[in-house]
């Protein structure tokens, strides 16, 4: 049985006995329902999940209550059928009917130890599964060139990168697409400002900072002339008071759109210098994309996209503009209309997105398209997903929305917020991580050299920023505080990284003492049993992120795993135990470390062998 665990899934990066067991038990329970009550449509699946408390066992089936309604039978009668169906499975040591109709299940130690031993011996940990589940396009990061990069782009970058890794790991083929905001009204403004107010030295020194200064300068000048100068100067520009400066910017934009050589060259320059900057940050964060199709990429598809909307009667003229209404059968509006072509002929953000959805569908035929953008754009996505669907896009289109993040005072703000701000944040995180590492090294007399301290500072500093974001449900707002993010205790990256490094030092010591035997995992104490069970849930935790796009579920899992290890290590000697116990504990310890490492990597976070 053990040998088949891996060979059944040749590409599997982590044995998944728990998942397979759940599927098997679920099928057994389902069949028993059929046999007893006959075929009924749309029954909830009697799938066991993790028990919510240790006294409820390891697994629990809680669907009897729901099934009772559909089958019109008492829940305990149904639970009895479910229990009898699964209790005979070799993995189940004990079962019990509880409360209004819960089935509590205990796994046998034999099953646990066999699968944990196989997992510990598996060389496949860390390998991605073969892509068999279809394609996913993830659109994330997507900052705007020559406009302030706001904090939302940072969250999008961190969350998107993690989702990319996780989806890949569980067998999706993932295309990571950075939908760069490289087209739009800001370029007209920037061209004007560049020609009027450029400080060439400043541009040579730090081009993006100078572009930002020019952008802000334009807004200020416009305000002086009595214009509205809104930060978001895109879609409703029609209603703005048109100052001479704005009129000039619009004229330059039209020239750019018509292919004017000089304006195009300037535009290209702005993109190039921004991209250099973005790439520096991406490199530092360990983020990479498969394609960077910015908005400009869809430029020559906009007209034909509009034509499709018109010929399929999805869009209609309204006060000079071309508009899509979202009418319910009773004639009322389901949501506000979307303007897809403005009265002056200009296209909108939504038009580009519809063109993008069509392009992605035609080119990649993905099963899912995920777009990682903050919650403020909810309506935009609902609108354009609906339009794209009407135009034949069949992929599941998902807006992976997230709440805002508040950063420490002074690091970054939306107003002056810029890439420099993000780099300042990363620098500060490294600087503080360095202090923590140094203090720790002095305190523990590990006397790490300067190069090691710097490497720790880098890995911990980046990890802290990322984990702070990923460890909270993405839909909630996040407050960033240094002390919390860099703490060596609690649900933080440094805590998990430290847990990993501590295990490595145990393993090095074993090695130095010539202890070679790892496994089999056997004779579990209750604490070891809890730890081993936790280890076997890893693949399910990863899967739950793939299903819900919520990386915090994996973070939570890793934190609990590290906690379970800590409890184990507190009173379970490893190296000093007698040979068979030592071999079992070493295998468990090693598997914990590898699980932490793979898990953190899926969150985009590195580990260190020494800290």
What's the CA angle centered on 362, arms 359 and 366, to 5 degrees? 95
78: closest CA among 54, 50, 100? 100
CB 552, min distance to ligand ARG, A: 22
Are 146 and 269 spatial neighbours (Cβ–Cβ below 8 Å)?
no
Sequence-distant (≥ 6) Cβ neighbours of residue 309 within 8 angstroms: 315, 322, 324, 340, 354, 387, 391
Q: What share of the chain is helix, strand, coil (3-state, %, to 5)?
A: 55, 10, 30
**At residue 584, what are phi and psi to the nearest 5 degrees?**
-65, -45
CA distances from 39 to 27, 35, 65, 82, 531 (A): 14, 8, 18, 15, 40
Residue among 405 and 600 whose Cβ is closer to ligand ARG: 405
> Which lies closer to ligand ARG via its Cβ, residue 188 or residue 294?
294
Nearer to ligand ARG, 235 or 428 (CB): 235
Neighbours of 508 (CB within 10 A): 12
Residue entry with tokens 């960077």: 292
**CB of 370 vs ligand ARG, minimal distance in Å:** 10
How many helices and strands in the chain, by DSSP H and E? Answer: 22, 13
Residue with Cβ nearer ligand ARG (371 or 591):
371
Report in angstroms how near the CB of residue 475 gets to ligand ARG at its nearest. Answer: 17
- If the CB atoms of residues 342 and 582 are measured against ligand ARG, the closer one turns out to be 342
With CB atoms as reference, the residue minimizing the distance to ligand ARG is: 181
Token representation of residue 304 = 């034909």
Phi, psi of 367 (to 5 degrees): -80, -35
The smaller minimum CB distance to ligand ARG, of residues 384 and 569, is found at: 384
Instruction: Tell me how far, at minimum, the Cβ of 273 lies from ligand ARG, in Å.
Output: 18
Question: Helix crossing, 261-285 with 419-443: angle to 10°?
Answer: 20
Q: Whole-angstrom Cα distance, residue 441 to residue 68?
A: 60
Closest to ligand ARG by CB, 126 or 403 = 403
* Pairing mode, strands 478-479 and 102-107: unpaired
Specify the residue, 63 or 178, whose C-beta has the smaller distance to ligand ARG. 178
- Smallest gap from Cβ 140 to ligand ARG, in A, equals 8
Tell me how far, at minimum, the Cβ of 299 lies from ligand ARG, in Å.
14
Tokens of 267: 């535009």
CB of 108 closer than 8 Å to CB of 90 = yes
Residue 182 near residue 271, CB atoms below 8 Å: yes
Least distance from C-beta 461 to ligand ARG, angstroms? 26
Report the residue number, 152 or 246, with the smaller CB distance to ligand ARG. 152
CB of 302 to ligand ARG, least distance (A): 14
Nearer to ligand ARG among residue 263 and residue 352 (C-beta):
352
In the bound complex, what is the minimum distance in angstroms from residue 243's beta carbon to ligand ARG?
25
Contact footprint for ligand ARG (CB under 6 A): 139, 142, 144, 179, 181, 353, 356, 371, 373
Residue 325: its H or E element: strand 321-327
Residue 145 CB, nearest approach to ligand ARG (Å):
9
- Comparing CB distances to ligand ARG, the nearer of 179 and 518 is 179
CA gap 601, 546 in Å, rounded = 15
Q: Which two tokens stand for residue 92?
A: 């189940």
Minimum distance from residue 214 beta carbon to ligand ARG (Å): 19
d(CA 158, CA 462): 11
């Amino acid at each position: 049985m053990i040998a088949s665990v891996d060979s059944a899934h040749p590409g599997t990066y982590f044995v998944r006995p728990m998942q397979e067991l759940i599927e098997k038990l679920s099928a057994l329970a389902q069949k028993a329902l059929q046999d007893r009550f006959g075929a009924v449509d749309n029954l909830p699946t009697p799938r066991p999940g993790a028990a919510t408390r240790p006294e409820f066992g390891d697994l629990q089936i809680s669907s009897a209550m729901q099934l009772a309604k559909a089958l019109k039978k008492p829940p305990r009668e149904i639970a009895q059928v479910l229990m009898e169906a699964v209790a005979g499975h070799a993995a189940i040591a004990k079962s019990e009917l509880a409360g209004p109709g819960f089935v509590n299940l205990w796994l046998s130690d034999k099953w646990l130890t066999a699968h944990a031993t196989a997992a510990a011996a598996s060389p496949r940990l860390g390998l991605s599964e073969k892509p068999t589940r279809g394609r996913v396009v993830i659109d994330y990061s997507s900052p705007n060139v020559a406009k302030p990069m706001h904090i939302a782009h940072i969250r999008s970058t961190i969350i998107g990168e993690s989702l990319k890794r996780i989806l890949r790991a569980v067998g999706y083929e993932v295309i990571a697409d950075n939908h760069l905001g490289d087209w739009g009204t800001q370029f007209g403004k920037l061209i004007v400002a560049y020609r009027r107010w450029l400080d060439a030295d400043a541009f040579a020194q730090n081009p993006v900072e100078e572009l930002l200064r020019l952008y802000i300068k334009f807004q200020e000048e416009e305000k002086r002339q009595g214009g509205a100068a809104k930060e978001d100067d895109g879609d409703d520009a029609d209603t703005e008071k048109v100052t001479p400066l704005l009129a000039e910017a619009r004229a330059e934009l039209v020239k750019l759109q018509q292919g004017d050589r000089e304006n195009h060259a300037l535009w290209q320059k702005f993109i190039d210098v921004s991209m250099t900057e973005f790439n520096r940050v991406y490199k530092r964060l360990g983020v990479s994309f498969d394609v960077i199709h910015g908005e400009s990429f869809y430029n020559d598809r906009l007209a034909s996209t509009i034509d499709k909307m018109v010929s399929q009667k999805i869009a209609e003229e309204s006060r000079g503009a071309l508009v899509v209404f979202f009418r319910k059968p009773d004639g009322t509006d389901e949501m506000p209309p979307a303007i897809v072509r403005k009265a002056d002929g200009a296209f909108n953000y939504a038009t580009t997105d519809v063109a993008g959805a069509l392009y992605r569908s035609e080119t990649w035929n993905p099963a899912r398209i995920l777009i990682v953008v903050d919650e403020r754009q909810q309506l935009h996505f609902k609108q354009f997903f609906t339009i794209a669907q009407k135009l034949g896009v069949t992929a599941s289109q998902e807006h992976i929305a997230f709440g805002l993040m508040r950063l420490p005072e002074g690091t970054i703000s939306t107003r002056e917020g810029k890439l420099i701000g993000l780099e300042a944040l990363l620098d500060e995180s490294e600087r503080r991580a360095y202090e923590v590492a140094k203090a720790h090294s002095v305190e523990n007399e590990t006397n790490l050299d300067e190069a090691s301290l710097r490497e720790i500072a880098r890995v911990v500093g980046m990890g802290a920023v990322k984990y702070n974001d990923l460890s909270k449900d993405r839909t909630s707002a996040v407050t960033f505080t240094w002390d919390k993010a860099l703490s060596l205790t609690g649900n933080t990256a440094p805590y998990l990284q430290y847990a990993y490094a501590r295990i490595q030092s145990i393993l090095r010591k074993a090695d130095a003492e010539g202890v070679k035997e790892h496994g089999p995992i056997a004779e579990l104490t209750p604490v070891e049993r809890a730890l081993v069970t936790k280890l076997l849930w890893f693949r399910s935790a990863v899967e739950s992120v793939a299903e819900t796009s919520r990386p915090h579920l994996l973070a939570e899992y890793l934190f609990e795993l590290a906690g379970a290890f800590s409890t184990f290590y507190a009173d379970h000697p490893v190296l000093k135990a007698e040979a068979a116990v030592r071999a079992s504990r070493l295998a468990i310890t090693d598997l914990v470390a590898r699980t932490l490492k793979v898990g953190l990597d899926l969150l985009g976070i590195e580990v260190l062998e020494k800290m």
